[in-house]
Structure formats: structure tokens, C-alpha cells
Structure 1
Amino acid sequence: MLIKKEMVTIKSAAEILGISTSALRDWDKKGLLKAERNPQNGYRLYRLSDLGKMTDKIKNKRTQIE
């Protein structure tokens, strides 16, 4: 199975967002950022478009704090 280019692994997603993989797993459990599962191995995969939306939310929160 080919992984679509618009999907990234949990490690890559964490690096893009600047958070830990455990935080991403927690967000997935809470429904804040849902992962899809690779049917062959069960690994979490994240859509780049969803990460972009979450990046905007994170930036907005950080701006409000400052």
C-alpha cells in the first residue's frame, strides 16, 4: 500500500506541530486531532491539511497568551 503524500506519520506530525508524540496520541484520544490508521500496521497517520489547521490554532493561542 502506498501512503498518500498528504499523510504523515505521528513522528513527522509532532515535529511539524512542535509537540511530543505522546501529546498527539492524547489529542487523538480526546478527539482534538483525529488520526487515521494505516490498515496494514495500525500506525497513526495525519493529514497535512489537519496539521495546518491545528498549527493556526496553536499560533492563535500563543498570540493570545502574549
Structure 2
Amino acid sequence: MEKLSDYVQVAKAAHILSVSQNTLRTWAADGKIPVHRNPANGYRLFKRSDLADFLRETAESATNKKHHLG
């Protein structure tokens, strides 16, 4: 079972990804990163493991593009 501590709110998630909160909200709305809602208050929540996956996939994509350009 997942715990609330497995999730972070927008400000913390944006900090982890080094982007603005608005950028993160846009990415979530566009389906680029999974977003969940707190059932009690409707706040956006981001799962820590989803953030880690996103960072890894972004790094891999950047590495692959660099190799193709080189």
C-alpha cells in the first residue's frame, strides 16, 4: 500500500526536477509526467518514484540525442 510520504506537492516536485511550478503543472496537464490528486483537498501530488523515472528518462533521452548529433 502506498503512503502519503511516497508523494510530494507541486513546490517540492518542481524543486526536485529543477523547474518552475508552472512548468510542472503544464507537464502534468500535457501528460508528460503522472499527477495524482489528494482526495481530501484536491491538491496535485507527484509520486517520488515517478519523478525519479522522469529524471532518468530525460537524462537518457538527452544522452541519446547527444550521441546522434556527435
For the aligned pair, the TM-score class normalised by the smaller chain equals 0.7 to 0.9
Aligned residues: 64
Specify every segment of 5 or more residues in structure 2 that has no aligned partner in the other structure, as ranges: none
Find the counterpart in structure 2 of residue 7 from structure 1: 7
Gaps of 5+ in 1: none
- Please list every run of at least 4 consecutive aligned residues from structure 1 whose deviation after the TM superposition is greater than 3 angstroms: 61-66
RMSD: 1.6
Determine which structure has more spread, i.e. the larger CA radius of gyration. Answer: 2
Match for 2:23: what amino acid? A
1:40 shift after superposition = 1.5
Once the two structures are aligned, what percentage of the paired residues are identical? Answer: 34
Q: CA deviation at 1:39?
A: 1.2
Higher helix share: 2
Q: Tell me which amino acid in the other structure corresponds to 1:50.
A: D
How many angstroms does 1:41 deviate by? Answer: 1.2
Give 1:43's aligned residue: 43
Q: Does 1:60 align with 2:60?
A: yes
TM-score (norm 1): 0.82
> TM-score normalised to the size of structure 2?
0.78
